[in-house]
Chains A and B, each alone.
Chain A
Amino acid sequence: MRTITYRDAVREALREEMIRDPRVFLIGEEIGLYGGAYAVTRGMLDEFGPERIWDTPISEGAIAGAAAGAAVAGTRPVAEIMYMDFLTLCMDQLVNQAAKMRYMFGGHASVPMVVRTQGGGGKENAAQHSQSLEAWFVHVPGLRVVMPSTAYDAKGLLKSAIRSDDPVIFVEHKLLYNSKCEVPEEEYTIPLGKADVKRMGSDVTLVSYSRMTEFALSAAEKLSEEGIDVEVIDPRTLSPLDVPTMVESVRKTGRVVICHEACKAGGFGAEIATQIMENAFDYLDAPIVRIAAKDIPIPNVRVLEDMMIPQENDIAAGVRQCLSG
């Protein structure tokens, strides 16, 4: 099978869905002529023209709000917000408007929109271009939150997100765009709400998503040399969250480590941990361990940034701690 990059996988999903459905259009900063700040939409303006690829002013509130308005008015916009940090500039539009229209209006309105953005650190981009703010959006009923870790998952999940009648926050990772994996040429989709067991194991369940899944898998390989057999589960979508797949794993391993790149306090790991407590407490043989970023703004210089964001060694240490508990 061919291998393609995460970037190309996202672009393929966009192209295929735009060809499939004339109601799908893209709106965002620098997505046309420039081809996207991370080159995801390169070439799409030439292919689809300016009535389907809308290059906007720097105006995140209007991008998100216009996407919500266009969605409720019968189209299927895919908005790009250049950095996840910039979602702070469209919180009313996403949280008070898009997320709530279906419910507030008694089910008569659908808001089939996707907000594509990219988050995460590791590029010395400092505190306003590196955050992982997914927990905020999981906390808003009405929104879906997707955070793929591979090219294969990104393509299949983005296609489902675009076809969904709900507003979806689709979070890519800036350091995954060049990662490659096998992606079939044939059409496929991945349903929202299905976790993926990225590595089978029997000693401990390691839950991670987005770029941390790469670290989790490499940590698992290292740990296997010590005789520790790690199962790595990537929920892929945080809302809806596939709890049964995690519970099934915990029933086998009895031990859980959760890893994410977001700050620990109020982070999504707390939700995962509590779901496991509520649904699999009797199977736990040790306290759940959380590996997360430190609760500080993200520093710029790499020597500090690497201390702030979990690394492979931190994950391995967390697994050993869990096994000694």
Chain B
Amino acid sequence: MKNTEKIGLLRQMILMREFDERAGRWYAEERMAGSTHLYVGQEAVAAGVCAHLCRDDYITSTHRGHGHCIAKGGDLKPMVAELFGRSTGYCKGKGGSMHIADIRFGHLGANGIVGGGMTIATGAALASRVKNTNQVTVCFFGDGAVNLGPFHESLNMAGLWSLPVVYVCENNLYGMSTHHAKAASVKKIAHRAASYNMPGHTMNGMDVSAVYNVAGRAIRRARKGNGPSLLVMDTYRYYGHSRTDPCSYRTKEEVAEWKSRDPIQKFKAKLIADGLLDERTFGEMVAEANRQIDEAEDFAEKSPYPTREDLETDVYCDDLLEMQ
């Protein structure tokens, strides 16, 4: 990895962190429309994976998707506007936090259904085959999705047809409150890859360098036409499932232990040790992220809400009118 790329990854992770810390506050202040699920703690995964993607590559995301959107190249202004339910949002206020998407930069959608993106990602990869392009699709999902039928059907189909897709499981240990060990019949999710004729890797999802390296290999493999991979990133969400979760199912010690492996602090320390960063520059990066978020917040605040005229648009295309 080049030094500029390292700084870039750190900058991305800081932006994701500051964005979702702010989203938590917007929610608490009741300035946000609807629910939100914060990505804080998991930033290394989205940053390390999406660093290898081009604008026309595809991702599918999850209900915990703000980080994926930022990493794939999303613009903060329509993101915040969407959280605020404004007509300038990515979805004109019709989607909200759980459905942020923009096909124009290959984002096929956050998803309110656990495992909902799995078959869609598989289909996007199939489309690359039909179109004969070298686009790669990355499918983000959580440990909660791996016990659903669509996980099996998707990985089977992708393995069978050697589709250009990388399945990235963010194992943050809990599906709502249920621990992974109480939900899956295997300890190591990556072992399931063997059933689908694809390599499976488990890695430290708090280490952005490790994520970057392994994801890079899997994405290059897919792009060359050598088939899919299953990557399992061990990670942790610092906040609860959603903002109303009291987190009674996990101990303070466990949370503290994971926070001691914080992806941003660890990477920052490494870059400082390597002489690529100092505290002052880091502080400036945090300030710059907040300046961007302020700007986006201001944009959103000044944007109008959708109106009755918007209510019934975007349900169907207009082609019936053309045909008639």
- Chain A residues, CB < 8 A from B99: 104-105
Task: Report yes or no: A62 in contact with B154, Cβ–Cβ below 8 A.
Answer: yes
Does A59 lie within 8 Å of B157, measured CB to CB?
yes
Chain A 60-77 near chain B by CB (<8 Å), digits 1 or 0: 011011111111111101
Please pick, from B119, B128, B161, B315, the residue contacting A103 in the complex, using a CB distance under 8 A: B315
Do B120 and A193 touch across chains, with their CB atoms under 8 A apart? no
The smallest C-beta distance from B148 to any residue of chain A, in angstroms, reads 9
Smallest Cβ-Cβ distance to B102: which chain A residue: A108
Please pick, from B116, B130, B153, B316, the residue contacting A59 in the complex, using a CB distance under 8 A: B153
**Cβ-defined contact, A67 with B316, below 8 A:** no
Decide if B101 is an interface residue (CB 8 Å cutoff): yes
With A97-B116, A240-B320: A103-B94 Cβ-Cβ less than 8 Å: yes
Contact indicator B320/A193 (Cβ below 8 Å)? yes
Query: Which residues of A have CB within 8 Å of B113?
Result: 92, 96-97
Task: Establish whether residues A193 and B324, one from each chain, have CB atoms under 8 Å apart when the complex forms.
Answer: yes
Chain B positions within 8 Å of A51 at CB level:
129-130
Contacts of B58 in A (CB 8 A): 73
B79 interfacial by beta-carbon distance below 8 Å: no
Q: How far is the CA of A106 from the CA of B92 in the complex (A)?
A: 5
CA distance A51 to B121 in the complex (A): 18
Size of chain B's interface in residues, with CB distance under 8 A?
53
Closest B residue, CB atoms, query A113: B123
B313 at interface by CB-CB < 8 Å: yes
| A131: Cβ under 8 A from any B Cβ | no
Q: Interface 1/0s, chain B 152-163, versus A by CB < 8 A? A: 011011001100
Q: C-beta contact mask, B288-324 vs A, less than 8 Å → 1, else 0?
A: 0000000000000000000000000111110110011
Number of A-B contacts (CB under 8 A): 170
Contacts of A96 in B (CB 8 A): 112-113, 116
Asked if residues A165 and B319 are in contact (CB atoms below 8 Å), the reply is yes
Residue of B113, B153, B160, B324 with most partner-chain A CB within 10 A? B153
Q: Which one of B131, B157, B317 contacts A166 once the chains associate, using CB atoms below 8 Å?
A: B317
Please indicate which of the listed interface residues A52, A67, A75 has the most CB atoms of chain B within 10 Å of its own CB. A75
Residue A227 at the chain B interface, CB threshold 8 Å: no
Interface residue B126 (Cβ < 8 Å from any Cβ of A): yes
Inter-chain contact A62/B153, CB cutoff 8 Å: yes
B121 smallest CB distance to A (angstroms) = 6
CA distance A23 to B130 in the complex (A): 7
Q: From the candidates A73, A163, A165, name the one contacting B108 in the complex (CB within 8 A).
A: A73
Contacts of A144 in B (CB 8 A): 316
B64 to chain A, nearest CB (A): 17
Interface presence of B218 (CB below 8 A): no
Q: List 16 A-B contacts (CB under 8 A).
A: A23-B130, A56-B157, A64-B119, A72-B120, A73-B58, A75-B131, A92-B116, A97-B111, A102-B316, A104-B101, A106-B89, A106-B94, A107-B313, A109-B109, A110-B317, A165-B317
Sample of 11 more A-B contacts, CB < 8 Å, known A97-B111, A107-B314: A59-B156, A65-B154, A66-B123, A104-B91, A105-B95, A105-B103, A144-B316, A163-B319, A164-B320, A193-B320, A240-B320
For the complex of A and B, the 4 pairs showing the least CB-CB separation, nearest first, are: A65-B119, A69-B123, A66-B123, A106-B91
